[in-house]
């Protein structure tokens, strides 16, 4: 069973739909025991960093997420779910993230001719091709919606980057923890392959 963590953040249903398309048994839940007994866990999300962390703490999910990671269950953060895995965000100064990975979330710099939020299709480059990207061609296009981006402290965990006003760390992998700034569930066949790769880990 794949547990999708429910903390009132948007985009949960589209992730569920993509997983069902892949023939997976899926459960949207915030129940500690259901999350801990899952074969894989996904933290999706669209929204504000500070509000999301408030909800994660309110629902008692902070420790549960750490337990999932510590017991080596494959874990995937998507969009805001990626950002929450890190230490802090420019979006809500003073609010601590989950701190599972080292790095910070910065606002995309203003640049003439570029709109923020960054919304649309961008190609990926692979500094090292992680397990999520097996079977994909070079420079595949995926769908982004975000105003803030990851700058990981550990370059070696970065598996995909893209350029939009600055260099964006678009995906990371460390042990059993995977995360994407883009939305695989909205990225057509490429995204489905990425989710299939996660399912098969």
Q: Given 79, 169, 173, 180, which residue is catalytic?
A: 79
Q: Is the dihedral of CA 167, 190, 49, 175 positive or negative?
A: negative
Q: Given 118, 146, 169, 183, which residue is catalytic?
A: 183
User: What DSSP letter does each residue of 51-120 carry, written as one string?
Assistant: HHHHHHHHTTHHHHHHHHHHTT--EEEETHHHHHTSSEETTSTT-----SS-EEEEEPPP-TT--SSEEE
Q: Given 155, 180, 185, 200, which residue is catalytic?
A: 185
Q: Is 183 a catalytic residue?
A: yes
* Whether the Cβ atoms of residue 169 and residue 158 lie closer than 8 Å to each other: yes
Structure tokens at 126: 């692979």
Distance between CA atoms of residues 201 and 72, nearest Å: 12
Taking the alpha carbons at both ends of the chain, their separation in whole angstroms is: 13
Q: Is 79 a catalytic residue?
A: yes
Q: DSSP character for 125?
A: B
Q: Is 70 a catalytic residue?
A: no
| Residues with catalytic function | 79, 183, 185
């Amino acid at each position: 069973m794949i547990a999708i963590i429910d903390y009132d953040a948007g985009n949960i249903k589209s992730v569920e739909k993509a997983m069902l398309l892949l023939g997976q048994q899926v459960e949207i839940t915030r129940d500690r025991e259901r999350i801990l007994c899952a074969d894989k866990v996904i933290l999706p999300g669209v929204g504000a960093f500070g509000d999301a962390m408030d909800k994660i703490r309110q629902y008692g999910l902070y420790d549960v997420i750490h337990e999932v990671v510590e017991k080596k269950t494959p874990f995937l953060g998507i969009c805001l779910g990626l950002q929450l895995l890190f230490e802090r965000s420019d979006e809500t100064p003073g609010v601590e993230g989950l701190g599972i990975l080292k790095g910070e979330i910065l606002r995309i710099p203003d640049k003439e001719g570029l709109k923020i939020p960054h919304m649309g299709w961008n190609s990926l480059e692979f500094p090292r091709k992680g397990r999520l990207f097996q079977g994909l061609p070079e420079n595949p296009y995926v769908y982004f919606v975000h105003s803030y981006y990851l700058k990981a402290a550990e370059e070696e965990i970065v598996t995909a980057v893209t350029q939009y006003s600055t260099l964006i760390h678009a995906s990371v992998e460390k042990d059993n923890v995977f995360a994407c700034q883009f939305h695989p569930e909205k990225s057509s066949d490429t995204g489905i392959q990425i989710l299939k790769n996660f399912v098969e880990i």
